[in-house]
Amino acid sequence: MKVCCYNKADCRSLGILYSVIAAIFGSLAGLSLKVAPSTSQLHGGLSHFILAYTVCLPISTFGPLKFEARRWNLVYTNLFGIMSSISTMTNFLAFEFLPMSDVFAIVSSSAATTMMLACVFLKENCTATDLLFSIVALVGVVLVAQPNFLFHGTEYRDDRYIGTILALACNFSTAFAVLFTRKLAGKVNTVHLILSRSFWGILFCAVSLNFVEGAEEIPCLTVCAFLCLSAVLGLLNWTFRCVALMLERAGPVIVAYSSLIGFAFLLDYFVLGTATNLLSIIGAIAIFASSAGIALKTTVSDCSHERT
């Protein structure tokens, strides 16, 4: 896929714009599942995976899509698919227990998680600044989660514990998926990665639905409409993010895409009528600041390497 711009500045501006548009589509995809009549969020995940697989499979058969069919490339591609599909499933499942804004805030702290895992598994340099950003992200997650053993005045039900655990599982699986993507840089086309994610997602959802009471029932037309809408919005989210990364560095794209947290808070409050509190807002701001700091640090480092 080729994207044409008049100059480099135009390309970067479009990259930022597409990142924000992707964030809007991502928040609307979550909203579609939240407002859908009673149904398992696994149905939402399944619809996302089926649509992505249906769209990408024909594309993979046309054109000179690059794929080096070496053993480790296949291994990392499948590991990416497993981690990425788990990330999507746990994200949707967390919607059943937490407000959409809280889920997106906790998941967005995956930038700090990715950085720390890269230090451990990829032997990347870890500085004091990196540790500081990670601590800020951790504080933000605690403020959003608000466990009752730290915040005695908060109403904390068991389902909120479950939602927090699912959101953290999404956080870590997203971070591992990013690490596997780094190992595959320039060796595998994005279409193949989405196919791997969709294949494993369909498999996991199909197996998981067998253990959910009433999941074998076919959703009504209204529910199907919301599921299809969410799947389309989710695919648009992925598409605009991929195009944004073609036009702009990963750092600014991450910062712009973090606006997803703000859109989720607005939709929670004005559309779903979900009450929030000051601690959640402060926590979300801390997570955004951490992601922005990591992204800007990475961008400055890349620029300095290019000059040398």
Whether 2 maps to a domain, the answer reads no
Predicted local confidence at residue 1, as pLDDT: 47
- Mean pLDDT score of the chain, rounded to an integer? 83
Residue 3 domain flag: no
| Least confident piece of the model among 79-83, 170-174, 183-187 | 183-187
Query: Which helix (H) or strand (E) element contains residue 242?
Result: helix 221-247
Task: Kindly report, residue by residue over 173-182, the tens digit of the pLDDT.
Answer: 999 998 888 8
Angle at 232 between CA 215 and CA 272, to 5 degrees: 70
> Domains in the chain: how many in total?
1
Give exposure, 25-59, as e/b (b: 16+ Cβ within 10 Å).
Answer: bbbbbbbbbbebeebbbbbbbbbbbbbbbebbeee
In a domain, 256, yes or no: yes
Assess if residue 1 is contained within a domain. no
Domain annotation covers residue 185: yes
Res. 304 pLDDT band, cuts 50 70 90:
low
Q: Is residue 2's pLDDT more than 50?
A: no
* Beta strand spans in the chain (E): none
Within-domain flag for 144: yes
How far is it, in rounded angstroms, from Cα 170 to Cα 167? Answer: 5
pLDDT, average across residues 12-16 = 78
The one-character DSSP state at 123 is -
| 100-123 average pLDDT score | 88
Question: What token pair was written down for 104?
Answer: 């997106």
Q: Which one-letter amino acid corresponds to residue 72?
A: W
pLDDT greater than 90 at residue 129 = no
Q: Can you tell me the mean pLDDT for 180-192?
A: 81
pLDDT at 44: 86
Q: What is the pTM of this model?
A: 0.85
Q: Residue 130: pLDDT above 50?
A: yes
Give residue 262's domain range. Answer: 8-307
Among positive and negative, which fits the CA dihedral 142, 21, 198, 121? negative
Half-sphere exposure of 89 (CA within 13 A, CB side): 22
Tell me the pLDDT band of 154, cut-offs 50, 70 and 90: low
Buried-state track 5-14, b at ≥16 Cβ within 10 A, e below 16: eeeeeeebeb
